[in-house]
Amino acid sequence: MTRTNLPVVCVSLLFSLVACDPQVTPGPNFGDGGVGVPDARGPCVLSADDDGDCLTNAQEGCELTVLLDTDNDGTPDYLDLDSDGDGLWDGLEVGDNCSDPRDTDGDGVPDHRDTDSDGDGMSDGNEDRDGDGVIGSCTTPCSLPSHCDVGANCSLPLDGASTGTCVSMECSEGETDPHNPDTDGDGTPDSAEETFVCSPQSDDNPNGLLPIKYVDSADLDSTANWRLAMGQFAVELQPEILTPLALDGAYGFDMAEPNAEVAGFLVSRFSGAVTATNESINLITGLQSNPIVASVTSRSSGNATTTLDGHDTVLGMTLEITTTSAMSVTALRAALLPTMLARAPATVVTPATAWIGQPDTVFALRVQTIRRTTEQQTLFVGGLARLVHYDDRTRATGFHLDDFSNGTGVAEAGNGEAIECEPYVGAQEAKADIIWVVDESGSVNDDRQRITDNASVFFDKAIAAGLDFRIGVTDMNDTGPGGQVGIFATRQVGGTGDRWLLPGEQALFEANILDPSGPDAGDGGSEHGLTQGRNALARHLPRSNSDPQMVREDAKLVVIYVTDEKPDEIENAGLLGGGNVQPTPTVQAMIDAFMGTYITDFTNENATAHLIAEPLPFTATTCSSGGAEHAYGYYTLVNQTSGQAGSICQPDLGPVLDAIIDDIIGAASPIILPNIPISASITVARDGVAVPRSRETGWDYRASSNSIVFFNMPYNPADPSEIVVAYRRWQDQVLD
CATH classification at residue 601: 3.40.50.410
Report DSSP state, residue 352.
P
The domain boundary residue, chosen from 370, 399, 419: 419
Compare 621 and 658 and report the one with higher pLDDT: 658
- pLDDT attached to residue 36: 39
Report long-range pairs for 152-155 (Cβ below 8 Å, ≥24 apart): 153/183, 153/184, 153/185, 153/186, 154/185, 155/180, 155/183, 155/184, 155/185
The helix/strand count (H/E) of the chain reads as: 16, 29
From the list 405, 410, 412, the residue with the least C-alpha distance to 314 is 405
- Same domain? 517 vs 635: yes
- Percent of the chain surpassing pLDDT 90: 71
Is the pLDDT at 431 greater than 80? The verdict is yes
**Which of 30-39, 267-276, 639-648 shows the lowest mean pLDDT across its residues?**
30-39
Tell me the mean pLDDT in the region 55-76.
91
Is the pLDDT at 13 greater than 80? The verdict is no
- Same domain? 362 vs 484: no
Q: How far is CA 580 from CA 618, 619, 629, in A?
A: 9, 9, 4
Q: State the alpha helices, DSSP H only, in 519-580.
A: 529-539, 568-572
- pLDDT attached to residue 194: 78
- Same domain? 542 vs 615: yes
- pLDDT attached to residue 21: 35
- pLDDT attached to residue 129: 84
**What is the C-alpha separation between 588 and 594, in angstroms, rounded?**
10
Tell me the mean pLDDT in the region 562-589.
94
**What is the C-alpha separation between 15 and 139, in angstroms, rounded?**
9
Is the pLDDT at 28 greater than 50? The verdict is no
**Which of 210-219, 398-407, 485-494, 667-676 shows the lowest mean pLDDT across its residues?**
485-494
Write the pLDDT tens digit of every residue in 119-166.
988 889 889 988 899 998 999 999 999 999 988 999 999 988 889 999
> How many Cα atoms sit within 13 Å of 74 on the Cβ side?
2
CB atoms within 10 A of CB 507: 11
- pLDDT attached to residue 663: 95
Sequential DSSP letters for 219-250: GGT-SS--EEEEETTPEEE--EESS--TT-EE
- Asked if residues 624 and 447 have their Cβ atoms less than 8 Å apart, the reply is yes
- pLDDT attached to residue 5: 32
- Asked if residues 217 and 413 have their Cβ atoms less than 8 Å apart, the reply is yes
- Asked if residues 571 and 581 have their Cβ atoms less than 8 Å apart, the reply is no
Write the pLDDT tens digit of every residue in 173-214.
888 999 999 998 988 888 878 788 888 888 878 888 899 999
- pLDDT attached to residue 23: 31
- pLDDT attached to residue 625: 67
Q: Give the model's confidence band at 24: pLDDT under 50 very low, under 70 low, under 90 confident, else very high.
A: very low
At residue 72, the 3 state secondary structure works out as coil
CB atoms within 10 A of CB 598: 23
**What is the C-alpha separation between 248 and 224, in angstroms, rounded?**
6
User: Based on the structure, what is the number of domains in the chain?
Assistant: 3
Tell me the mean pLDDT in the region 689-694.
94
CB atoms within 10 A of CB 403: 27
From the list 420, 295, 307, 421, the residue with the least C-alpha distance to 363 is 295
Whether 542 maps to a domain, the answer reads: yes
- pLDDT attached to residue 370: 98
- Asked if residues 643 and 610 have their Cβ atoms less than 8 Å apart, the reply is yes
- pLDDT attached to residue 309: 94
- Asked if residues 537 and 559 have their Cβ atoms less than 8 Å apart, the reply is yes
Compare 321 and 622 and report the one with higher pLDDT: 321
From the list 211, 71, 197, 18, the residue with the least C-alpha distance to 122 is 197
Which residues are registered as beta bridge partners of 559? 435, 609
Tell me the mean pLDDT in the region 550-556.
96
- pLDDT attached to residue 496: 57
SS3 content of the chain, % helix, strand, coil (to 5): 25, 25, 55
Q: Give the model's confidence band at 14: pLDDT under 50 very low, under 70 low, under 90 confident, else very high.
A: very low
Q: Are strands 468-474 and 431-438 parallel, antiparallel or unpaired?
A: parallel
- Same domain? 161 vs 236: no
- Asked if residues 266 and 410 have their Cβ atoms less than 8 Å apart, the reply is yes
Whether 709 maps to a domain, the answer reads: no
- Same domain? 376 vs 514: no
Preceding peptide of 542 cis, ω within 30° = yes
From the list 369, 390, 386, the residue with the least C-alpha distance to 317 is 369
Tell me the mean pLDDT in the region 510-529.
85
> How many Cα atoms sit within 13 Å of 37 on the Cβ side?
5
- Same domain? 218 vs 134: no
Instruction: Give the torsion through C-alpha atoms of 167, 169, 175, 180, to 10 deg.
Output: 40
- Same domain? 276 vs 187: no
Is the pLDDT at 525 greater than 60? The verdict is yes
- Same domain? 47 vs 149: yes
- Same domain? 218 vs 96: no
**Which of 19-23, 358-362, 560-564, 715-719 shows the lowest mean pLDDT across its residues?**
19-23
- Same domain? 482 vs 607: yes
From the list 653, 609, 606, the residue with the least C-alpha distance to 635 is 609
Whether 697 maps to a domain, the answer reads: no
Whether 731 maps to a domain, the answer reads: no
- Same domain? 654 vs 520: yes
The domain boundary residue, chosen from 668, 693, 727: 668
**What is the C-alpha separation between 176 and 193, in angstroms, rounded?**
9
- pLDDT attached to residue 7: 33
Determine the structural domain holding residue 363 and report its residue range.
Answer: 212-419
- pLDDT attached to residue 523: 65
Whether 267 maps to a domain, the answer reads: yes
* Angle, vertex CA 70, rays to CA 65 and CA 75, nearest 5: 70
Is the pLDDT at 530 greater than 80? The verdict is yes
**What is the C-alpha separation between 46 and 58, in angstroms, rounded?**
5
> How many Cα atoms sit within 13 Å of 493 on the Cβ side?
1
- pLDDT attached to residue 480: 64
* Angle, vertex CA 73, rays to CA 70 and CA 75, nearest 5: 80
- Asked if residues 472 and 421 have their Cβ atoms less than 8 Å apart, the reply is no
Whether 204 maps to a domain, the answer reads: no
- pLDDT attached to residue 736: 61
Residue 701's contacts (CB-CB under 8 Å, 6 or more residues apart) are 402, 406, 677, 679, 682, 693, 707, 708, 709
The domain boundary residue, chosen from 192, 225, 242: 192
**What is the C-alpha separation between 329 and 358, in angstroms, rounded?**
8
Tell me the mean pLDDT in the region 508-524.
87
**Which of 205-209, 228-232, 504-508, 622-626 shows the lowest mean pLDDT across its residues?**
622-626
- pLDDT attached to residue 483: 60
Q: Give the model's confidence band at 718: pLDDT under 50 very low, under 70 low, under 90 confident, else very high.
A: confident
- pLDDT attached to residue 39: 43
Whether 158 maps to a domain, the answer reads: yes
Whether 724 maps to a domain, the answer reads: no
Q: Are strands 360-372 and 312-327 parallel, antiparallel or unpaired?
A: antiparallel
Radius of gyration of the chain (CA): 30
- pLDDT attached to residue 19: 35
Is the pLDDT at 22 greater than 50? The verdict is no
Instruction: Share the mean pLDDT of the chain.
Output: 89
Report long-range pairs for 62-68 (Cβ below 8 Å, ≥24 apart): 65/38, 67/36, 67/37, 67/38
SS3 of 478-500: CCCHHHCCCCCCCECCCCCCECC
φ and ψ at 58, to 5 degrees? Answer: -65, -40
- Same domain? 470 vs 615: yes
